[in-house]
Amino acid sequence: MEYKLQTIGLLTSGGDSPGMNAAIRAVTRAAIFNGIKVKAIYRGYKGLISGEIHDFYTQDVSNIIQQGGTILKTARSQEFRSAEGRQTAYNNIKSHGIDALIVIGGDGTFSGARVFAQEYNVPIIGLPGTIDNDLWGTDSTIGYDTALNTIIEAVDKIRDTASSHERLFFIEVMGRDAGFLAVNSALASGAEAAIVPERQTDEDQLDQLIRNGFRKSKNSSIVIVAESEITGGANGLAERMRKEHPEYDVRVTILGHIQRGGRPTAYDRILASRMGVAAIDALIDEQRNIMIGIVNDQIVHVPFTKAIKDDKPLNDSLLGVIQILSI
Ligand code: F6P
């Protein structure tokens, strides 16, 4: 069958991330530049199933490069997990004349894309949009840099009060089950330690921290904790610390969804713009079922199966650097 690429469908799915709008702009404009029509699909796979599909033009993406969130809205669709849901999605793709899909999201988005691509003959290109940076095959995901900067801004403020009151703060950051945000925000904010799920097989990280004498030269301390059942979260660790060391004045801050919002950094805007153009180039080259990634500043193509394989390595040496610098 001859491959035709006249119209693409574009959606954002899963947790939003700063820079998604810059990616939407880049995909839309690169498509139109190449004579390809764009259909915007609202609310991710949910909107693909319910048929929230509208024509998109270059002016629809004006003035959004600097905005956080996603103008296309996003959702986590249960219905797309069912064969019936995906059949309806396919029917909508056909009835709107969509030849290929570009999906912006994280591992859940790409897992859905992979299954859909196996069942139906629809070329799909993914752009990594998640603050977690947990996709294999890319040095960075769209939104990760902004989230890191949001975290360190908050930690700098907490440090002021921690230091005035001579307190120990456990600050919990997002990442689902990945410690990238925790380790790099700890490094960038001068925290005493990062507690991450990737180290669960090692010696208990809290015991290690205490044994290293994390308070020997300081009266206030910051420990960044990656959210995860494995780490016990900031509340779990604080509770233990209060029991084992009642002499410490312990406080907890859970940064929460503030990490997902805000104006994207220059890095995320540039990354999103480059990746958006690369996604259209990939479709024109008849690539399918890949995620666009960036490695050593070069655009790469990563099969969905690899991108979602759940074992993107955390650079262990960074934990060593944090320890050295926290004496
Ligand atoms: O995947 C992005 C993320 O922000 C994770 O870091 C976090 O665990 C999760 O989404 C929170 O999801 P929700 O917004 O549905 O609470």
Between CA 121 and CA 56, with CA 51 as vertex, the angle to 5 degrees is 85
HSE-CB of 40 using CA atoms within 13 angstroms: 23
Q: Please list, in sequence order, all residues whose beta carbon lies within 8 angstroms of the beta carbon of residue 246, skipping any fewer than 6 positions away.
A: none
Residue 25 Cα to ligand 1 middle (Å):
24
Nearest C-alpha to atom 7 of ligand 1 is from which residue?
176
CA distance 106 to 270: 19
pTM across the whole model: 0.96
CA distance 226 to 132: 11
Asked if 53 and 118 sit in the same domain, the reply is yes
Q: Report pLDDT digits (tens) over 146-178.
A: 999 999 999 999 999 999 999 999 999 999 989
Asked if 207 and 115 sit in the same domain, the reply is no
Residue 321 lies in a domain: no
Shortest-distance atom of ligand 1 to CA 106: 1
Indicate the number of domains in the chain: 2
What are phi and psi for residue 213, nearest 5 degrees? Answer: 65, 55
Shortest-distance atom of ligand 1 to CA 176: 8
| pLDDT at position 2 | 59
Q: Which of 16, 99, 107, 132 is catalytic?
A: 132
Asked if 273 and 248 sit in the same domain, the reply is no
| pLDDT at position 215 | 65
HSE-CB of 63 using CA atoms within 13 angstroms: 2
| Residue 132 falls in the annotated catalytic set | yes
CA distance 79 to 201: 36
CATH (domain of 72): 3.40.50.450
Residue 225 Cα to ligand 1 middle (Å):
15
Residue 243 Cα to ligand 1 middle (Å):
30
Asked if 189 and 243 sit in the same domain, the reply is yes
Q: Report pLDDT digits (tens) over 255-264.
A: 999 999 999 9
Residue 251 lies in a domain: yes
Helix (H) or strand (E) holding 242: helix 233-244
Among the listed residues 114, 121, 117, 74, the one whose alpha carbon sits nearest the alpha carbon of residue 94: 121
Asked if 79 and 177 sit in the same domain, the reply is no
Nearest C-alpha to atom 2 of ligand 1 is from which residue?
15
Shortest-distance atom of ligand 1 to CA 181: 6
Residue 104 belongs to what domain range? 7-143+264-309
Residue 174 Cα to ligand 1 middle (Å):
7
> Residues 304-315, buried b or exposed e (16+ Cβ, 10 A)?
beebbeeebebe
CA distance 287 to 272: 19
Q: Identify whether the C-beta of residue 122 lies closer than 8 Å to the C-beta of residue 116.
A: yes
Enter the tokens of residue 291.
């995620």
Mean pLDDT by 10 residues, the chain (327 residues): 85 98 98 98 98 98 98 96 98 98 97 97 97 97 98 98 95 96 98 91 77 72 94 94 93 98 98 98 98 98 93 92 91
| pLDDT at position 214 | 66
Nearest C-alpha to atom 11 of ligand 1 is from which residue?
15
HSE-CB of 51 using CA atoms within 13 angstroms: 8
Residue 180 Cα to ligand 1 middle (Å):
14
Q: Report pLDDT digits (tens) over 265-305.
A: 999 999 999 999 999 999 999 999 999 999 999 999 999 99
Among the listed residues 228, 245, 223, the one whose alpha carbon sits nearest the alpha carbon of residue 323: 223
Asked if 13 and 135 sit in the same domain, the reply is yes
Q: Please list, in sequence order, all residues whose beta carbon lies within 8 angstroms of the beta carbon of residue 82, skipping any fewer than 6 positions away.
A: none
What are phi and psi for residue 203, nearest 5 degrees? Answer: -55, 145
Question: How many Cβ atoms from other residues are within 10 Å of residue 138's Cβ?
Answer: 23
Residue 181 lies in a domain: yes
Asked if 29 and 114 sit in the same domain, the reply is yes
| pLDDT at position 202 | 62
**Ligand 1 lining (C-beta closer than 6 Å):** 15, 106, 130-132, 174-176, 227, 260
Distances (CA, A) of 202 to 175, 231, 259, 261, 316: 20, 12, 28, 34, 12
Among the listed residues 253, 236, 249, the one whose alpha carbon sits nearest the alpha carbon of residue 170: 253
Integer Rg of the chain from CA: 22
| pLDDT at position 217 | 67
Residue from 111, 174, 254 whose mutation best tests the ligand 1 pocket (most atoms within 8 A of CB): 174
133: left (phi over 0), alpha (psi -120 to 50) or beta: left
Shortest-distance atom of ligand 1 to CA 174: 6
How large is the angle between the packed helices 180-189 and 317-325, nearest 10 degrees?
30
| pLDDT at position 204 | 82
